[in-house]
Amino acid sequence: MRTLLSLLAAVWTTVVHAASPNMELAKSVFDPRIMSNAVESPIPGLYQFAQGSEVFYISADGRYVMQGEMIDLQTQINVTESFRASERVKTLAALEPKTMISVLPNAPAHHITVFTDVDCPYCRLMQQNILEYTQRGIAIHYLAYPRSGPNSSAALRMAQVWCTPDRLSALLLAQTDQPLPNSRGDCSKIIREQYAIAQKLGISSTPSIILEDGTLIPGFVAPANLETILNKHPEQIEIEKSDSEETTLPEPPPHPLSPPPPPPAVQ
């Protein structure tokens, strides 16, 4: 009986250890708080965790750590990038919606998060096309990423934008080098926090678009092309629209920078 109990205890100990990797060796190199979120990878006995925008793999005994891209040859899926995408979804879902500048059509079909900069030419181009994005049912949630740094003049202007009552109009003014209205309070902390989040997510350019499933698309994408991409991605997360700083655009007149609407189709 004692032998049987010993065997059961050994099996139980093995199962418990298999549920999470041993962190004793690795905690001197990695942040233990981050490593506590390690999850099993598709390879038995190998766990994955993210530190910033980097993904690492660690053996169950905690002895071996490696970094690189894991590819599933059967499905042709980049497992590592899928894990990064899931981390982006979790990070964005934890954000306070009121810290974003949200532009919503009447019936949004898709939501995207966009890291933008007031000095970025392609961010300005995206803003010029804001009407067409909303007409295609695409809701845009802007976050600040001043590429020149959180203490730059661009970051200061973005803090002014975020502290005005009409943030969307102020963003347009800032991106067209026009004077900004007086701000209410100091939003520099929000800009610094969003800058840090961008770095954590591996953002290095603007605009950077994150889809609802966490897919990262760096650079400007024209409205029609973006709609095509979005239709291929299932909805993953629900944006809390009621709590967001939002601008509803049912049938707004085009702003001065918007391209003229296309002529009606000839039957």
pLDDT in tens, 19-35: 567 777 777 778 777 76
Q: Compute the average pLDDT of residues 35-59.
A: 87
Q: What CATH class has 92-240?
A: alpha beta
Just give the CATH number of 25-78.
Answer: 3.10.450.70
> Which residues, other chains included, contact 140 with Cβ-Cβ below 8 Å and sequence gap of 6+?
102, 103, 112, 114, 130, 133, 134
Question: Which pairs count as long-range contacts for 122-126, CB under 8 Å and 24+ apart, including other chains?
Answer: 122/206, 122/207, 122/219, 122/220, 123/175, 123/206, 123/207, 123/220, 124/175, 124/176, 124/257, 125/220, 126/207, 126/220
Using an 8 Å Cβ cutoff, are 161 and 167 in contact?
A: yes
Q: Compute the average pLDDT of residues 189-217.
A: 95
User: Angle at CA 113, nearest 5°, toward 108 and 119?
Assistant: 125
Using an 8 Å Cβ cutoff, are 207 and 120 in contact?
A: yes
Whole-angstrom Cα distance, residue 102 to residue 185?
Answer: 20
User: Angle at CA 70, nearest 5°, toward 232 and 196?
Assistant: 75
CB burial of residue 193 (10 Å; 0-12, 13-18, 19+): middle
pLDDT in tens, 103-151: 999 999 999 999 999 999 999 999 999 999 999 999 999 999 999 999 9
pLDDT at 51: 84
Looking at the chain, the whole-number percentage of residues with pLDDT higher than 70 is 78
Q: Compute the average pLDDT of residues 9-15.
A: 39
> Which residues, other chains included, contact 206 with Cβ-Cβ below 8 Å and sequence gap of 6+?
115, 116, 117, 120, 122, 123, 145, 147
Using an 8 Å Cβ cutoff, are 213 and 89 in contact?
A: yes
Q: Alpha-carbon Rg of the chain, whole angstroms? A: 23
pLDDT in tens, 240-258: 333 444 444 434 334 444 4
Taking alpha carbons only, the member of 93, 91, 101, 235 closest to residue 160 is 101
Q: Compute the average pLDDT of residues 198-205.
A: 93
Q: Compute the average pLDDT of residues 40-65.
A: 89
Whole-angstrom Cα distance, residue 156 to residue 153?
Answer: 5
Q: Where are the beta strands (DSSP E) in 195-236?
A: 208-210, 216-218
pLDDT at 38: 84
Tokens in use for 215?
A: 């897919």
Whole-angstrom Cα distance, residue 85 to residue 126?
Answer: 23
Domain ranges of the chain: 25-78, 92-240
Q: Where are the beta strands (DSSP E) in the chain?
A: 39-40, 46-51, 54-59, 65-67, 71-72, 77-78, 101-104, 110-116, 138-144, 208-210, 216-218, 246-248
Using an 8 Å Cβ cutoff, are 52 and 84 in contact?
A: no
